[in-house]
Amino acid sequence: MSELTAQKACTETLTRREQQKENRRLALIEAALAVFSRVGYAAAKMDDVATEAGVSKGTVYLYFDSKETLFKEMVRAKMSPMLSGMTDAIGQSSMSATDRLKTHMKFFYKKVLNSDRRQIMRLIMAEGPMFPDLAEFYHANILNRGQAMIGTIIQQGVESGEFREMEGHGLAQNIAAGALVAGIWKLVFDRFQPIDLDAYFDTHVDLILNGLRASSADN
């Protein structure tokens, strides 16, 4: 009921029991994501998470202290792969700032908006105020890095003459905003007015790059 390929990193060192234990844990996290996404944090029942993972409720508590812990660990677990992925993706290729920005935006659309993770994005917005430490984790580990990355690219672009200079309070947020809204739209309003993520992406890139581009006069 979910493709969880247990990390058989060190098959030697893990007994069969330990492997199964790790698999259970992953299965529970998948189940938790499914249930929390479907009905939100408060309405999610531990019983449903258990059923979705194919175990009984008591078992869930052998792996996670409480509903809150389960939720937080689920978010962290689903997000941590992004962390390495992001810094890796920077690379030192000799791309122009323009292409580099485009590449990173594509990466985000693919890895977040087109996957489970957009649900997490929504959950953070929905439950963030109730779980400040989760919001802080998300801010420190995802948003901050994203902003830094965008900042670096902009700077490169300004130096190379591709982009104009902008003072830019909230520039990074403004650049990323289109993508966040696309993710939310897909989850909340898609049924009333579907959006085509690929076409939307093109518009987004077009608008932003043109907005940043050094040209005639400024405002």
Partner DNA sequence: ACGAATTAACTGACCAGTCAGTCATTATTA
Partner DNA sequence: TAATAATGACTGACTGGTCAGTTAATTCGT
The rounded radius of gyration (Å) of the Cα atoms in the chain is 20
Using the CB atoms, write b or e for 139-175: b if 16+ within 10 Å: eebbeebbbebbeebbebbbeeebbeeeeeeeebeeb
Interaction of residue 38 with DNA, rule CB under 7 A: no
Choosing from 21, 76, 139, 145, the residue that interacts with a second copy (CB under 8 A) is 139
Interaction of residue 126 with a second copy, rule CB under 8 A: yes
Distance of CA 179 to the CA centre of its chain: 11
Interaction of residue 212 with a second copy, rule CB under 8 A: yes
Six token digits for residue 213: 């581009």
x/- string (CB under 7 A) for DNA, residues 18-37? --xx--x-------------
Residue 163, helix vs strand vs coil? strand
> What minimum distance in Å lies between the beta carbon of 7 and a second copy?
31
Residues that bind a second copy (CB under 8 A): 39-43, 122, 124-130, 132, 135-136, 139-140, 143-144, 164, 166-171, 173-178, 180-182, 184-185, 187-189, 191-193, 195-196, 199-200, 202-213, 215-216, 218-219
